[in-house]
Amino acid sequence: MNFSAANLLLVGILLLNLFFLGTSRIRALIQAAALQGVVLGVMPLLIHGRVDWNTGLIAVATIVLKGSVIPGMLRRALREAQIKREVEPLIGLVPTMLLGALGTLLSIAFASGLPLAPEHQNLLVVPASFSTVLTGFLLLTTRSKAITQAIGYLVLENGIFIFGLLLLEAMPFLVELGVLLDLFVGIFVVSIIIHHINREFASLDTRRLASLKE
């Protein structure tokens, strides 16, 4: 029962990935990221089945961080950087979407090559995490604005987090928190740098950051 619900959410995440690649507006991108964060926050409870302190705390922390705090920081960065709200992809949106779709298919195929533990059988976690990681990569490599790359990094982390769900028992609580914390600090530092970039270059277009060569 739970597992199917989990699968449902995972499919939702896959769709969100396609949306990331498809949308042309940064604000929407941030919204979607926040939504994905919330979904991820719910996942542990569903997969873990029962609610205990660890999972509960992790869930809450996830929802708070990924769902509100980090998107908030990104929004602030976006606000103070007086820039066009367009994504400005280096290659068109449609090709990236197609790439993303292809990536999803491949990750499903790839995941099917990896034997799962009995309790995780017929669970879409692995393909979902792969395709999310891939989506993050695509955002990082095909989008030109610093802030969109930050979002890409966030999505990448989400993908890894999804896989982490399989290890709730194995991975001790402390580590999970450490990971979350690192992610948070990472995004925090990133947004600081974004702030400086904006101040120095009066833009977040990383195409200007190409003076260091060879």
Provide the binding-site residues for other proteins, judged by CB under 8 A. 90, 105, 108-110, 112-115, 117, 129, 133, 137, 140-144, 146, 149, 153, 156-157, 159-160, 163-164, 166-167, 169-172, 175, 178-179, 182, 185-186, 189-190, 193, 196-197, 200-201, 206-207, 209-214
Backbone dihedral angles phi then psi of residue 144, each to the nearest 5 degrees: -95, -25
Q: Burial code of 192-210, b = ≥16 C-beta within 10 A, e = fewer?
A: eebbebbeeeebbebeeee
Beta carbon nearer to other proteins, 1 or 135: 135
Give the H or E element holding residue 105: helix 93-112
Burial of 117 (C-beta count, 10 Å sphere; 0-12/13-18/19+): exposed
* Closest distance of CB 176 from other proteins, Å: 8
Beta carbon nearer to other proteins, 32 or 133: 133
CA Rg value for the chain? 17
Beta carbon nearer to other proteins, 1 or 88: 88
Least Cα distance to 129 among 93, 90, 103 occurs for: 103
* Closest distance of CB 131 from other proteins, Å: 13
Beta carbon nearer to other proteins, 18 or 160: 160
* Closest distance of CB 1 from other proteins, Å: 23
What would the two tokens of residue 174 be?
A: 């402390």
CB 77 within 8 A of CB 195: yes
Beta carbon nearer to other proteins, 79 or 118: 118
Give the H or E element holding residue 97: helix 93-112
Q: Token pair 């920081």 is at which residue?
A: 73
* Closest distance of CB 92 from other proteins, Å: 15
* Closest distance of CB 180 from other proteins, Å: 11
